[in-house]
Chain A
Amino acid sequence: MSDTLIVAELADGKIKKTTHSAITFARQAGQPFSILVIGAGAKAAAAELTGFGAKAVLVADDASLASYVAERFAPTVVEVARSGGFGVVVATASSFGKDLMPRVAAALDAGYAGDISAVSADGGKLSYKRPMFAGNAYGHCTISTATQIVSVRQSEFTAAEPSGGASDVKDVAVAPAGPGADRVEFVKFDQVKSARPALGEAKVIVAGGRALKERFNEVLEPLADALGAGVGASRAACDAGYAPSDYQVGQTGKIVAPALYFAIGISGAIQHLAGMKGSKVIVAVNKDGDAPIFQVADYGLVADLFGVVPELTSAVIAAKG
């Protein structure tokens, strides 16, 4: 089999943690791998990735890549994949990877397996496991094209740790902008600034539903502070404007699997469960004892959340001493 190419993700001149999940995939796929760091500032960031056992860290650094748009990034990924003869090209299925990789697949006329949860090598051929139907089924698939394009679910591929060594850093040419690039203009990125851990990386998540209403932050933030937790939300809470859309946990929002997940006033629609049922321990607090969330919760507390969450916050602080 041929080598694997990892497409790293950059933000503010640093390597995003999502990249480490793609490295884990490459190690599990079992072939030698290289990492492509693409974007303005890639050269400086490449040093962050030289200790993971890659054959090479390839750098495509150019001012024209200052802001991510698929039309400008895809051609370089395609060119590096093609000229390097890579068998698998992988990124993490963040909003970056999900936007970019299918476009790369189409340009290479290659098969794409998106948002996979596991990889195995069966008789020299890679087999991918993918969650489907909101996580109610897994499909096992293989790709028959010479190059295989894959994106991996961050919550299912534990972030890789450095393995030592010092990979060579090599510049690669930035390919000319692809078709459509002259018709897209990056206007702005309105970033939700938060001191809390990103949902994909948080060990504890406190998530709230529509029942919290305008008191979403007032009720949940102290508990999240006490736990050092990330804050998530149901779709209903996001749609109603009680929480930013970036908080949404679910089938088509963030997929998370923390060690501890608190579902506060979340009834547990199928789409929400798809985003969090991989959590190790689930706690549900809900007034309605028949809410579906209790079918997946390890610990359920039937109570009014406005009374119970402040009490829980104090008890957590006391328990953590």
Chain B
Amino acid sequence: MKILVPLKRVADPDNANKIKIPAGGATIDTTGLEWKPNPFDEYALEAALRLTENGATPKARGGEVIVVTFGPKETETTLRAALATGADRAIRVDAKDEELDGSIVAKALRAIVDKEKPDAVVMGKQAVDGDSNQIGQMLAQHLGWPQATFAATIEEEDGALLVGREVDGGVITLRVKLPALVTVDLRIVAPSSVYSKQTKRDFKYNDGVRFAALPAIMAAKKKPLAELKLSELVSDTSLKVQYSRFEAPPARKAGIKVKDVAELVTRLKNEAKVL
């Protein structure tokens, strides 16, 4: 199977409370925060790798995994890390953040899919900076492909994927015929979440994403990395959504520590009046 995995780098999500919004609110300042791969995209890459191998012999790769990102030259770090983890080749679409919105990225990805003709696009359900949760659904519509969003499980069948989607109130199972688009949720990297046709159904993966070994990091430097221009992929580059300003959320007042259950219940009843 040939799989395209879009990746985005984000300001360290575990320190998102350290972002700064300068007076006037013109921008969000992430200076001082490390760039990290968007967690959901890392999970999508792990899912794609699982779909292109026999879990018991992961070094023998099957199929092809192509990673793509949008951004300046520095974002190649994100792509090289993905190549070290097991992706076969990479594409960087040269662009600045302020040139992009969900609609433009979805259209540019469509152009890449038209050229690469993968069997599937597997991507994170949302980037944890913009928190929009939109590009997969948009891309599926542009391609005329079925979509299976918020996937917690994927099982490869002949020419199809059986996908368990985490939704409000339970799990919906969809069967999507290839080519298809899947966006992944957190639990896609659990030990029994993803099975290629080759992987035995009683095989259990290690929990979480795999890490690159040092030789793989060296070898990744030689893997192909192509550069494309945004203007080669989309003709209309006007933004549909314009941000005028940003603001910090109101700070929550620090509360008090109570000494025991009796004090807690008294305060909830008499002070907060919620019991």
Chain A positions near chain B (C-beta within 8 angstroms) = 11, 69-71, 74, 94-96, 98-103, 105-107, 109-115, 127, 130-145, 178-181, 183-192, 198, 200, 204, 235, 238-239, 245-246, 248, 251-252, 254, 259-260, 269-271, 277, 280-283, 289, 294-303, 308, 311-312, 315-316, 318-320
Whether the pair B244, A300 counts as a contact (CB closer than 8 A) is no
Contact partners of B137 in chain A: CB under 8 A:
70, 99-103, 106
Closest B residue by C-beta to A315 = B265
Pairs of residues from A and B, 7 with the lowest C-beta to C-beta distance, nearest first: A179-B144, A111-B240, A102-B137, A184-B146, A106-B141, A298-B255, A95-B167
B74 beta carbon closer than 8 Å to chain A: no
Q: With A and B bound together, what is the CA distance between A270 and B249 in angstroms? A: 14
Contact partners of B247 in chain A: CB under 8 A:
137-138, 140
Contact partners of B177 in chain A: CB under 8 A:
183-184
Whether the pair B180, A281 counts as a contact (CB closer than 8 A) is no
Q: With A and B bound together, what is the CA distance between A112 and B133 in angstroms? A: 10
Q: Beyond the given A95-B168, A102-B135, please list 8 additional residue pairs across the A-B interface where CB-CB is below 8 A.
A: A132-B129, A138-B249, A142-B244, A144-B242, A189-B171, A192-B170, A254-B168, A283-B264
B115 beta carbon closer than 8 Å to chain A: no
In the complex with contacts A127-B244, A180-B144, A260-B274 CB distance below 8 A: yes
Q: With A and B bound together, what is the CA distance between A109 and B252 in angstroms? A: 39
| B interface size (C-beta, 8 A) | 90
B82 beta carbon closer than 8 Å to chain A: no
A98 shortest CB reach to chain B, Å: 5
Binary contact readout B224-263 vs A (1 if CB under 8 angstroms, 0 otherwise) = 0000000000000011111111111100111111101110
B126 beta carbon closer than 8 Å to chain A: yes
B24 shortest CB reach to chain A, Å: 12
Whether the pair B21, A300 counts as a contact (CB closer than 8 A) is no
Contact partners of A252 in chain B: CB under 8 A:
40, 125-126, 128, 185-186
Whether the pair A187, B249 counts as a contact (CB closer than 8 A) is no
Q: With A and B bound together, what is the CA distance between A66 and B245 in angstroms? A: 42
A18 shortest CB reach to chain B, Å: 8
Contact partners of A102 in chain B: CB under 8 A:
102, 133-138, 141
Whether the pair B16, A270 counts as a contact (CB closer than 8 A) is yes
B16 shortest CB reach to chain A, Å: 5
Q: Could you say which of B171, B207, B241 contacts A111, with CB atoms under 8 Å apart?
A: B241
Q: Could you say which of A112, A137, A140, A200 contacts B248, with CB atoms under 8 Å apart?
A: A137
Q: Could you say which of B40, B134, B246 contacts A105, with CB atoms under 8 Å apart?
A: B134
B169 beta carbon closer than 8 Å to chain A: yes
Whether the pair B239, A190 counts as a contact (CB closer than 8 A) is no
Contact partners of A70 in chain B: CB under 8 A:
137, 140, 147, 149
Q: With A and B bound together, what is the CA distance between A102 and B264 in angstroms? A: 45
B84 beta carbon closer than 8 Å to chain A: no
Contact partners of A178 in chain B: CB under 8 A:
141, 144
Contact partners of B174 in chain A: CB under 8 A:
69, 184-187
Binary contact readout B164-184 vs A (1 if CB under 8 angstroms, 0 otherwise) = 011111111111110010000
Whether the pair B169, A246 counts as a contact (CB closer than 8 A) is yes
Closest A residue by C-beta to B14 = A270
B50 shortest CB reach to chain A, Å: 17
Q: With A and B bound together, what is the CA distance between A186 and B190 in angstroms? A: 23
A-B contact pairs, 5 of them (CB 8 A): A105-B103, A110-B240, A113-B241, A252-B125, A283-B264
Q: Could you say which of A101, A132, A311 contacts B130, with CB atoms under 8 Å apart?
A: A132
B59 shortest CB reach to chain A, Å: 27
Q: With A and B bound together, what is the CA distance between A294 and B190 in angstroms? A: 30
In the complex with contacts A251-B128, A319-B275, A136-B19 CB distance below 8 A: yes
Contact partners of A296 in chain B: CB under 8 A:
252
Q: With A and B bound together, what is the CA distance between A190 and B164 in angstroms? A: 10
Most chain A beta carbons < 10 A, residue from B130, B177, B256, B258: B258
B208 shortest CB reach to chain A, Å: 9
Whether the pair A312, B170 counts as a contact (CB closer than 8 A) is no
Q: With A and B bound together, what is the CA distance between A76 and B268 in angstroms? A: 49
Closest A residue by C-beta to B148 = A184
Q: With A and B bound together, what is the CA distance between A316 and B275 in angstroms? A: 8
B152 beta carbon closer than 8 Å to chain A: yes
Contact partners of A142 in chain B: CB under 8 A:
241-242, 244
Q: With A and B bound together, what is the CA distance between A100 and B138 in angstroms? A: 10
B106 beta carbon closer than 8 Å to chain A: yes
B187 beta carbon closer than 8 Å to chain A: yes
Contact partners of B186 in chain A: CB under 8 A:
235, 239, 248, 252
Whether the pair A139, B258 counts as a contact (CB closer than 8 A) is no
B195 beta carbon closer than 8 Å to chain A: no
Whether the pair B144, A132 counts as a contact (CB closer than 8 A) is no
Q: With A and B bound together, what is the CA distance between A300 and B102 in angstroms? A: 41
